[in-house]
Amino acid sequence: MSLLSASFLLALAWLLLWRWTTVPSRTERVTGQGVGHLLEIGIYKDHPIVLLRCLGDLVISSVSLGRLLLPASLLFLLPCLLIVPQLASRYDHRPYEVGEKVLVEVQTSAPVSLEVPPGLEFEAGPLFLGQSVYWRLSTAAEGDFRIRVIDGADTQEKLLRVGGEGGVNPTREKGRLFWLFHPSERPLPSGSSVREIHLDYPDQSLWLRDYEIHWGWLLLVGFFVWVGLLNKLSSWIGWRR
């Protein structure tokens, strides 16, 4: 899912929820009152008593607006929980490049060993620190590799991607909600001694000309742009209550 389509879906979901849970004309009236109080603050900034009254009116308008938008905001968490983790798994990190080093961290309650396929080579480890075990690997070829953490008869795998495009998941761990935040892999079994397998995938950078920007900001800007456009469209076709 691209940032453009995700921001469109979130904007559409917000406008639908806003329409179904509030009276848009009332929300717009309260918003207009808040904007008016902001303008009053600028006009009467040299009159302390009037300024305090304007600030009080602004607080009242803000609280009223928050109460109107609260139902839609709570329901809006659901599409956010469905869409944002998908974007994070795609844009937060990038695959390793050939020659880059890989730090593998395994949190476990029992001694474990690590098995890697051809294309990956051990450089250091295992290093035991508390209940965590660390290895450093080197990448010699592109591909999707599955490293295996072995504890006797218990074997758990973790996908390690070198080269190519697409999202990567740095962590595999236990938990019923794991799939929600890391949708590309299944959670570790509850009965396994391995609690978490983590890879230090490099952060992915998005560039806007000469500026590095986090994908979350692009999503937020796209969301507000789509909200404005869809709101204008709904006004044009007379979609009001």
CATH number for 179: 2.60.40
Taking a C-beta distance cutoff of 8 angstroms, is the pair 101, 95 a contact? no
111 and 184 within one domain: yes
177 and 122 within one domain: yes
Taking a C-beta distance cutoff of 8 angstroms, is the pair 120, 144 a contact? no
Q: Give residue 231's pLDDT.
A: 79
How many C-beta atoms surround the C-beta of residue 197 within 10 A? 26
Residue 241 lies in a domain: no
- Per-residue pLDDT band for 238 (boundaries 50, 70, 90) equals low
Residues 149, 157: Cα–Cα separation, whole Å: 6
107 and 78 within one domain: no
Residue 206 lies in a domain: no
Under DSSP, is residue 117 helix (H, G, I), strand (E, B) or coil?
A: coil
Residues 177, 170: Cα–Cα separation, whole Å: 16
**Range with top average pLDDT, 22-31, 56-65, 172-181, 194-203:** 194-203
Q: Give residue 213's pLDDT.
A: 82
Q: Which strands form 154-162's sheet, in the order they lie side by side?
A: 113-115, 143-151, 154-162
178 and 106 within one domain: yes
If you search the block for the tokens 């905001």, which residue do you land on? 73
137-170 pLDDT, tens digit per residue, is 999 899 999 999 998 778 899 999 998 877 788 8
Structure tokens, 9: 């879906």
111 and 70 within one domain: no
85 and 164 within one domain: no
85 and 116 within one domain: no
Residues 186, 189: Cα–Cα separation, whole Å: 9
- Chain center to CA of 223: 14
Q: Give residue 30's pLDDT.
A: 78
Average pLDDT, the chain: 84
In the chain, alpha helices (H): 3-21, 24-43, 48-91, 178-181, 215-236
Instruction: State what percent of residues in the chain have pLDDT above 90.
Output: 25
Q: Give residue 183's pLDDT.
A: 67
229 and 159 within one domain: no
108 and 44 within one domain: no
188 and 108 within one domain: yes
- Per-residue pLDDT band for 134 (boundaries 50, 70, 90) equals very high
Under DSSP, is residue 43 helix (H, G, I), strand (E, B) or coil?
A: helix
145 and 86 within one domain: no
Q: How far is CA 140 from each of CA 59, 84, 96, rounded to the nearest angstrom?
A: 60, 33, 11
**Number of folded domains that form the chain:** 2
- Per-residue pLDDT band for 241 (boundaries 50, 70, 90) equals very low
Q: Give residue 237's pLDDT.
A: 62
Residues 28, 32: Cα–Cα separation, whole Å: 6
Q: What is the mean pLDDT of residues 206-226?
A: 84
- Per-residue pLDDT band for 104 (boundaries 50, 70, 90) equals very high
Structure tokens, 219: 């999503």
Residue 173 lies in a domain: yes
Residue 83 lies in a domain: yes
Under DSSP, is residue 202 helix (H, G, I), strand (E, B) or coil?
A: coil
pLDDT at residue 236 tops 90: no
Residue 207 lies in a domain: no
Residue 218 lies in a domain: yes
- Per-residue pLDDT band for 178 (boundaries 50, 70, 90) equals low
Structure tokens, 211: 């500026």
Higher local confidence (pLDDT), 69 or 219: 219
164 and 223 within one domain: no
Residue 111 lies in a domain: yes
Q: What is the mean pLDDT of residues 14-34?
A: 79
Q: What is the mean pLDDT of residues 99-119?
A: 91
Higher local confidence (pLDDT), 195 or 26: 195
Range of 228's domain? 3-92+213-236
Residue 208 lies in a domain: no
Higher local confidence (pLDDT), 180 or 81: 81
127-157 burial: b if 16+ Cβ within 10 Å, else e: eeeeeebbbbbbbeeebebebebebeeeebb
